Amino acid sequence: MIEFKADKVLASGISKEIKAEIEVPGDKSISHRAVMLGSLAAGKSYLSNLSLSGDNSATVAAFRKLGVRIEKQKLSGTGKDFLIKGVGLRGLKEPVSVINTANSGTLTRLIAGILAGNDFFSVLSGDKYLNSRPMKRIIEPLSLMGAKITGRNGGNYPPLAVSGGGLKSIFYEVPVPSAQVKSCIILAALFAQGDTVIYEKKATRDHTENLLKFQGYALKVETPSIGGSLISVKGRAGNGPELKPLDINIPGDFSSAAFFIALGILSEGAEITVKNVILNEKRTGLLKVLEMMGADVKTNVTGTVPEKTGNVKARYSRSRLNGISVPREIVSDMIDEFPIFSVIASFSEGKTIVSGAQELRVKESDRIKTVVLNLKKAGIDVKESEDGFEINGRPDLIKHNSNGVINPKTEGLTKLNSYGDHRIAMSMIIMGLVLKNRKLEIGDTGCINTSFPEFFDILSKILPFKVSASKNKF
């Protein structure tokens, strides 16, 4: 069950066998990009199922500040819920005040690419968590292209001050597996002189590429013989054709669906289907790993343009889950799912090893630390490593500790914390719903708004309880 206590949530074991079909709101990554690329298009774009999360409302506010009209349509549910009056590649206005990027790394890094291409001054600043996330990774390529960007802490942390314009093209190999860095350079390249070529050793999520292609932009993506992905972007340097407007229905967010997929697998007798969710392989590494562990999860594809979309059905299969070593090449395809994956691994027989995942240290929290801290407090046998963690899980964790004896820690109340990280908060709530004879209290859960303000609404439909969560205004 779920109980609310100010910004704390008490989660305890459910006895009901959940049978449910749900939908989750629009994908956060695509929502950011659709607002950005709709704003830069020449003409009216229509978006439906746009994510109303805190991160995405910050993106809408940022582009309004840059002079773009973005309106919520009166008649929603028509497939055209938001109207963006795109200003074209040369139409953004210098903002008169600081652009607030809230908790969003995607907004900060992607908009920095766009601002770098525009001949005006702007400042980006977010909340205390965002303002401690590394930005050198984007400042380096943008500076090579000719933008002037300074920031706190020797230029690594926001606030960032951007003086853009006059960009030249570059060849750049992205040194960390990051779709945010890649997308930042692609967006800057739209404004540069000449063709920019970007190489990533391991292809990361490609929503920017997919949307730009959908808008008829001259962008080429190749797989070279050495592997990875090579992206060439034609620079328009202030002339040349504009981007075509978008008219899209944004598929559900796989990262939000993942919490319900986990609940379906772990909760006795459950069967949960998440419909109309994005199934882009660079996002669904979790499904591959779950299959390796023996989980009962099935997908069926219902659409492919501009992104592969479909339904995911997760059935109770906790008793047959085995621990695994997560293949390193899958890490970036499930980068946002490690917190909820750690919960699934805690209930899987034997050892699960995550390595090569050092990027987790620079997410909304240091997710290696915050996962390990919380699981340890919950009585789970977990070890931290430099670039991951190791969990010794048990399907009967519900009653026993790792030595097989009744765990004193399974009685009463265990206090955990989100450390301001939305995905840690939701993962620990799901864990609390699966554990029996005890309650997990998760502190600082307001951050759930960052990506998934509808989380409790959806949970309350499948496990009746009263909801008192807040909503964003657009």
Could you give the residue numbers annotated as active site? 336
Q: How far is CA 130 from CA 104, 228, 268, 388, 443, in A?
A: 7, 29, 38, 22, 20
Is residue 359 a contact point for ligand S3P (CB under 6 A)?
A: yes
Q: Which two tokens stand for residue 344?
A: 């699934």
Q: What single-letter amino acid sits at 77? A: G
Minimum Å gap between C-beta 363 and ligand S3P is: 6
Minimum Å gap between C-beta 175 and ligand S3P is: 12
Judged by beta carbon, residue 336 or residue 454, the one nearer ligand S3P is 336
Judged by beta carbon, residue 104 or residue 414, the one nearer ligand S3P is 104
Q: How many CA atoms lie within 13 A of 285 on its CB side?
A: 20
Residues 248 and 48 sit within 8 Å (Cβ to Cβ) = yes
- Cα–Cα nearest to 199, from 210, 185, 215: 185
Is residue 335 a contact point for ligand S3P (CB under 6 A)?
A: yes
Is residue 47 a contact point for ligand S3P (CB under 6 A)?
A: no
Residue tagged 């343009």 (tokens): 305
Judged by beta carbon, residue 242 or residue 337, the one nearer ligand S3P is 337
Minimum Å gap between C-beta 112 and ligand S3P is: 13
Q: β-strand 157-163 against 121-126: which pairing, if any?
A: antiparallel
Judged by beta carbon, residue 27 or residue 81, the one nearer ligand S3P is 27
Rg over CA atoms, the chain: 22
Cβ neighbours of residue 2 closer than 8 Å, sequence gap 6 or more: 9, 10, 11, 429, 433, 456, 459, 460, 463, 465
Cβ neighbours of residue 319 closer than 8 Å, sequence gap 6 or more: 395
Is residue 204 a contact point for ligand S3P (CB under 6 A)?
A: yes
Judged by beta carbon, residue 50 or residue 435, the one nearer ligand S3P is 50
**What is the sign, positive or negative, of the torsion defined by CA atoms of 106, 112, 115, 117?**
negative
- Cα–Cα nearest to 449, from 420, 408, 428: 420
Is residue 268 a contact point for ligand S3P (CB under 6 A)?
A: no
* Contact set for ligand S3P, span 437-456 (CB under 6 A): none
Minimum Å gap between C-beta 33 and ligand S3P is: 7
Judged by beta carbon, residue 162 or residue 335, the one nearer ligand S3P is 335
Is residue 112 a contact point for ligand S3P (CB under 6 A)?
A: no
Report the residue closest to ligand S3P, judged by CB. 29
Q: What single-letter amino acid sits at 2? A: I
* Contact set for ligand S3P, span 169-198 (CB under 6 A): 178-180, 183
Count of C-beta atoms within a 10 Å radius of residue 466: 9
* Contact set for ligand S3P, span 234-253 (CB under 6 A): none
Residue 174 to residue 182: CA distance in whole angstroms: 7
Is residue 59 a contact point for ligand S3P (CB under 6 A)?
A: no
- The residue within the footprint of ligand S3P, chosen from 205, 234, 283, 422 (CB under 6 A), is 205
Positions that interact with ligand S3P (CB under 6 A): 29, 106, 178-180, 183, 204-205, 335-336, 359
